Structure 1
Amino acid sequence: MDIRKIYTDCGALLEGHFLLSSGNHSNFYLQSAKVLEDPKIASELAEALAVEIQQSKLEIDTICSPALGGILAGYELARALGVRFIFTERVQGEMVLRRGFSVQEGEKVLVCEDIITTGGSAMEAGACVEGLGAKVVGFASLANRGICQRGLKPTHKEACKLPALPFFTLADFNFDMYPPENCPLCQHSQAIKPGSRGN
């Protein structure tokens, strides 16, 4: 499965000057919503990711995603794996579990995102459910910006916020990223965050 081609064909691989959720800038942006708007493609991607996870023999009770970006990817992955799905959301800056969702003591949770950059939102979702008694057993994403390393026992780069737990992803997109105070793109244009300005 050529994930880069799928993103390109769906108009989900954007080129320009973008502000990433990590706060960094980049000349490329992955807009997974454009991929996931097609239920057939969303299902195929989730099934491919589910195969990787099933081959690892990792025990999972529940998929949890941080809202908003991870919800569709997480739901489809939960369906492919035949497990429960829940999501966390940010309220006044803090990731919380709402809407009647709950977790049991020791419940094995895999946190799923659409895109992992530094893994910050995924870590917040994981910390939220662990604070309620669940156990995070791994992380997954459709695509990965290349800071966090995939594998069953990954050794992450310093900027990655994920712990050394299993991390599954379909593709690595290793694009240049710049801290805003040292971004060469800022000499010619202002960074935009897709979705915030109508695109």
Structure 2
Amino acid sequence: MMKKDAESLLRETKAILEGHFLLTSGLHSPLYVEKFNVLQHPEYTEKLCEMIADHFRNQGVQTVIGPATGGIILSQVTARLLGTRSIFTERENGKMTLRRGFRVEPGEKVLIVEDIVTTGGSIREVVDVVNEAKGEIAGIGLFVDRSGGKADYGVPADKVFPLVRLTVPAYRPEECPLCKKGVPIMERGSHHLKK
């Protein structure tokens, strides 16, 4: 599968949706990314993870790590494809951490994976966890970078590999061109979307 096909697959599974969406932030957007629309299909998830695994195959990755929730799935699939172990971070008392006996050893080469990135905050927290353990960041693989390449992960840009990079506009309700056109608004999240 070619990288350019990733966006087509995400659109085909309705992971990338167009319309008029109310985001958690209260802003409005003409585009919404619903990761679970693709993650519910193991064969498509594997195709996307394979693209990430292939990109980092020669980087000496020893462990794949992703933040809970969607990152767990990506970590498992990507690690299987690379023949490495898979671990994940989760929040404990508001702080991203390794739990359940997971560890990163000093010098261990770690690939961080995530489904959708908007600000890069969760990934930056995972980078901090790996750095605190004195692990080495082999790279960061993403399904979708919604920041248009503006997110700061605390690693050199050439270590970041997004399958799809989008610049997603967001508007305050009073400035929203879709509201002005009378386009009905949908709340974010798949349970609000019409089938």
TM-score range, shorter chain: 0.7 to 0.9
Amino acid at match of 2:189: P
Query: Aligned residues, how many?
Result: 184
1:118-137 C-alpha deviation (Å, 9 max, x unpaired): 21111101111221232223
Question: Do 2:127 and 2:153's aligned partners in 1 also have CA atoms closer than 8 Å?
Answer: no
> What residue is the counterpart of 2:10 in the other structure?
7
Q: Distance in 2 between matches of 1:112 and 1:18?
A: 27
Q: TM-score, normalised by structure 1?
A: 0.79
Could you say which structure has the larger radius of gyration? 2
Alignment match, 2:166: 173
Whole-angstrom CA distance in 2 between matches of 1:36 and 1:66? 15
| Unmatched tracts of structure 2, length 5 or more | none
Q: Which has the higher helix share?
A: 2
Match of 1:108?
Answer: 109
Distance (Å, rounded) in 2 between the aligned partners of 1:139 and 1:24: 28
Aligned to 1:91: 92
Structure 1 runs of 4+ with >4 Å offset? 180-183, 185-191
**1:31 maps to which residue?**
34
Per-residue deviation at 1:17? 1.5
Conserved? CA contact 2:53–2:81, under 8 Å: yes
Query: Does the aligned pair in 1 maintain the 2:111–2:140 contact within 8 Å?
Result: yes
Q: Percent identity?
A: 35
3-state DSSP class of the match of 1:99?
coil
Distance 1:44 1:136, change over 3 A: same
TM-score (norm 2): 0.80
Q: Secondary structure at the match of 1:70?
A: helix
- TM-aligned CA deviation for residue 116 of structure 1: 2.1
Inter-CA distance 79–186: structure 2 relative to 1 (3 Å threshold):
farther
Counterparts of 1:35-50 in structure 2, within 5 Å, are 35-50=38-53
1:98-140 deviation per Cα after TM superposition (whole angstroms, max 9, x unaligned): 1111111111111110112221111101111221232223211
Preserved contact between residue 35 and residue 42 of structure 1 (Cα < 8 Å)? yes
Contact persistence 2:116–2:142 (CA under 8 A): yes
Which residue does 1:194 correspond to in 2? 189
Deviation string 1:129-157 (CA, Å, 9 cap, x unpaired) is 22123222321111222432xxxxxxxx4
